[in-house]
Amino acid sequence: MSEAHDREVSGSQLIGKLLDQASRADPYPIYAELRDLGGPVWIEEMTTLVVARYGECETLLRDPRLSAERWRRGGDQADRLYPPDAPSSVHQPWFLSQDAPDHTRLRRLVSSAFTARTIARMEPYITQLVDDLLDRASERDTFDVLHDFAYPLPVAVICRMLGVPVADEPLFQGWSAQLTRLVDGLSNATTDGETPEWEPGMTDMHRYVNELIAERRTSPRKDDLISDLIAAKDGGDALSHDELVSTIVLLLVAGHETTVNLIANGVLALLRHPRHLTALSADPDLAPAVVEEILRYDPPVQLTARIAAEDMRIGEVDVPKLSMIILLLASAQRDPEANPDPDSFDPHRTQARNLAFGFGPHFCLGAPLARLEGRLAMAGFARRVQNPRLIADPPPYREHLNLRGVSELPIAHVTRT
């Protein structure tokens, strides 16, 4: 048997192991084995190529022959996913899943409203929120970092930016939990055309956002992202109504579970490396470096996906048009060829190479906001929570492979006032 065939067999077995819930707490040894296979792995039964090494992931993220229009793989199936009375905006792909020139146009319009200034003006609110959440947690001598801290923070921040009433935040938490399945990459690649479990959440969120926009068109607000997006102009161009809805849904989905995992993964890494937690509590200026290392060491988004826009050859594999290409970002960052001693958690790294926010034209638009939330959350936790101890290590994990994260993170502690 050829080397390529052997690699395919070993690769399939490793992917099987990766999909198994038992490996959710620590997928990193499996990623190392995938990298050691020496090149991308073709999984015939999924018509999917899996890429695990840094250099290949980085190169492919810039390769124009790869398309982000993953929905094309399902043919017209995407149109049949929604009930007939769903708002028309559900059929408008968000720009995360579009290629140039549509992607370029939409991203430019959204960037003109989602600016550094928009994000910077959130800092006092986030600082207060971190304090309030830790105040509430301090009333008990054990608390759950996921439910009491990491989960409520990002949803409150994005709802505040969009002017969603606080009373409606639980709705967003529910929808967002369902939609996490949509971006689950590898496990998504195996769905068989039935109505996916995320569909009702998506349709309801579109209905809600449609109403929100209608309300904001009649009464625009100052310092409000929806009003800014409605007003956004690039020359004579503006977002259509459906593009506006789909963009707002994207901001809500892309910014929530990801940042939840950044905070929870970060607290977990610090509790497992108490030396760095002590250093951070003494010097909050270390927070940006700590956040960068969390993003490298245990990233909230483990992978991203593209499809082959044409027949192509990647490494030693012939990849037919419309094949799925899975780029294992979390594996790439642990590639010793990119980052020496990759399995050690070390916020003092200089020149760490990081794909946590992607690379190339789809680089995360929310990275500055996520970094700000991560920095304030980590610094607040280190300053306020004294002598924290993990109650279970490893903690239990949710089933998601891509937006991989804990399902609870209880700690015992004494919280400082």
Give the binding site for ligand HEM (CB under 6 A): 68, 95-96, 107, 158, 250-251, 254-255, 258-259, 262, 299-301, 304, 356-358, 362, 364-366, 369-370
Angle at 234 between CA 231 and CA 236, to 5 degrees: 90
The distance of closest approach from Cβ of residue 293 to ligand HEM in the complex, given in angstroms and rounded to an integer, is: 13
Q: Which is nearer to ligand HEM, 8 or 292 (CB)?
A: 292
Q: Which is nearer to ligand HEM, 39 or 300 (CB)?
A: 300
Instruction: Report how far residue 379's alpha carbon sits from residue 195's, in angstroms, rounded to the nearest whole number.
Output: 42
The CA distances from residue 411 to 15, 126, 145, 275, 388, in Å, are 32, 23, 7, 17, 6
The distance of closest approach from Cβ of residue 378 to ligand HEM in the complex, given in angstroms and rounded to an integer, is: 12
The distance of closest approach from Cβ of residue 79 to ligand HEM in the complex, given in angstroms and rounded to an integer, is: 21
Q: Which is nearer to ligand HEM, 178 or 246 (CB)?
A: 246
Q: Which are the contacts of 407, defined by CB distance < 8 A and separation ≥ 6?
A: 146, 395, 396, 397, 398
Residue 196 DSSP symbol: P
Q: Which is nearer to ligand HEM, 8 or 99 (CB)?
A: 99
- What is the CA 102 to chain-centroid distance, rounded? 22
Token pair for 302: 């483990």
Q: Which is nearer to ligand HEM, 107 or 181 (CB)?
A: 107
DSSP for 316-362? TEEE-TT-EEEE-HHHHTT-TTTSSSTTS--TT-SS----TT--GGG
The distance of closest approach from Cβ of residue 365 to ligand HEM in the complex, given in angstroms and rounded to an integer, is: 4
The distance of closest approach from Cβ of residue 303 to ligand HEM in the complex, given in angstroms and rounded to an integer, is: 9
Q: Which is nearer to ligand HEM, 12 or 118 (CB)?
A: 118
Residue of minimal Cβ distance to ligand HEM: 366
Q: Which is nearer to ligand HEM, 232 or 250 (CB)?
A: 250
Residue that the structure tokens 């946590």 belong to: 356
What sign results for the dihedral spanned by CA atoms 223, 228, 230, 236? positive
Q: Are 315 and 39 in contact (CB under 8 A)?
A: yes
| 3-state SS class at 303 | coil
The distance of closest approach from Cβ of residue 107 to ligand HEM in the complex, given in angstroms and rounded to an integer, is: 5
- What is the CA 256 to chain-centroid distance, rounded? 8
The distance of closest approach from Cβ of residue 218 to ligand HEM in the complex, given in angstroms and rounded to an integer, is: 25
